[in-house]
Structure 1
């Protein structure tokens, strides 16, 4: 399936929003947040500090009487400069986020947005990495694609099994804290992936500018199904 057709397929999955957080929490309680390198209000924040970045995010949520802050798809971020994990093999800096982040409290339950089976999972322990990660495989109308859930709790993968079935709306895990999630404020990295390219329990969530066109096609905007 060509990338444009895949995007149209995603848009047509359901006229209603699909949920990875509690469905009872309305989208009106979500607020967008800008964590890009062009956000001048971040200049005075040490974004390498989970505590200080967390305070920035939490204040943003509170100031908007919200429960969740969301955003980040194709956002160019300075936060990745703190870790060699994003630049050790690349000829060009990897700093473009190719997923959506949902910032909320640790232990927040995470749910399958569609019927799925567990493709793979892994604790990605590099500094600044995902920490505990689950990749679900979906097959809808004979089309197979994947969703990745990063920055989970250790409990999320303790008893998980490859091939395990989850029905739409069933809890798959919960959010981890900075001690296990790569040293970030609690949040879900939610990514759609067309072709996993042989990866297991991991897939790049940040890319370099030189590879952006490929990843835009292989990892479309999750807003197409979340309706954010």
Structure 2
């Protein structure tokens, strides 16, 4: 394991990983259907500091979708994205996020778009594991890819997919950058969320298989920030 080879494991490993991720492209990388131009993407703020969300029950997939549609309409966009290290009220009604203190800080990037939208692999890799995490508040169908750049092994997680995305997939299957990995699921399949992709970069899976925490409590945030660096280091969506 990479973490055992170096002194000050997280400091050096994360610095190298983020640096390597940034070298993989000179511009933004598509992660949804390549027919959707980057000009049709816009940022969205689902944090607890967003005053426009006051009085909106964001835990309701219908009300959440309505807010997302409003943002998309205002920006003449088809995809709303963002959310890394965002503190959210989105998880307030799910018991699974009350374990070991409230977990409400998001560890990945979300891409809110219509169910059925294609998910595109942003970096070549092979299937490490997959699973339907179907308890309320979880990811629903999830795929984890394993990547190798030089001596660095790391993983990317794709959550809230359709059931069809995991029906015929196989462990070890190779995906090149730009290939279709799956499609976005509906709220009933992605376990009570408006349709979106949860995309997360993970250095050490800690033994997880087909799953990994996507939301942290404040108490554990220092660890998760190091183990799950900003996905935008790879995607470079800085517009």
The TM-score by the shorter chain falls in which range?
over 0.9
Q: 1:216 aligns with which of 225, 228, 232?
A: 225
The CA distance in 2 between the partners of 1:216 and 1:127, in whole Å, is 25
The CA distance in 2 between the partners of 1:4 and 1:138, in whole Å, is 17
- 2:130 alignment partner in structure 1: 121
How far residue 10 of structure 1 moved from its aligned partner, in angstroms, is 1.4
The CA distance in 1 between the partners of 2:137 and 2:112, in whole Å, is 16
How far residue 15 of structure 1 moved from its aligned partner, in angstroms, is 1.5
Secondary structure of the residue aligned to 2:63 is helix
The CA distance in 2 between the partners of 1:115 and 1:223, in whole Å, is 16
Unmatched 5+ residue regions in structure 2?
A: 1-11
1:173-206 deviation per Cα after TM superposition (whole angstroms, max 9, x unaligned): 0000101001111000000011111100000000
Matched, 1:191 2:200: yes
The CA distance in 2 between the partners of 1:12 and 1:214, in whole Å, is 24
1:127-158 deviation per Cα after TM superposition (whole angstroms, max 9, x unaligned): 11100000001112232111000000000001
How far residue 28 of structure 1 moved from its aligned partner, in angstroms, is 2.2
Unmatched 5+ residue regions in structure 1?
A: none
1:110-135 deviation per Cα after TM superposition (whole angstroms, max 9, x unaligned): 01111111000000011111000000
Matched, 1:155 2:164: yes
Secondary structure of the residue aligned to 1:133 is strand
- 2:45 alignment partner in structure 1: 34
Choose 189-198 or 17-26, whichever is displaced more: 17-26
**TM-score w.r.t. structure 2 length?**
0.91
Runs of 4+ in 1 over 4 A off after TM superposition: none
Q: Let me know the Cα RMSD of the aligned residues.
A: 1.1
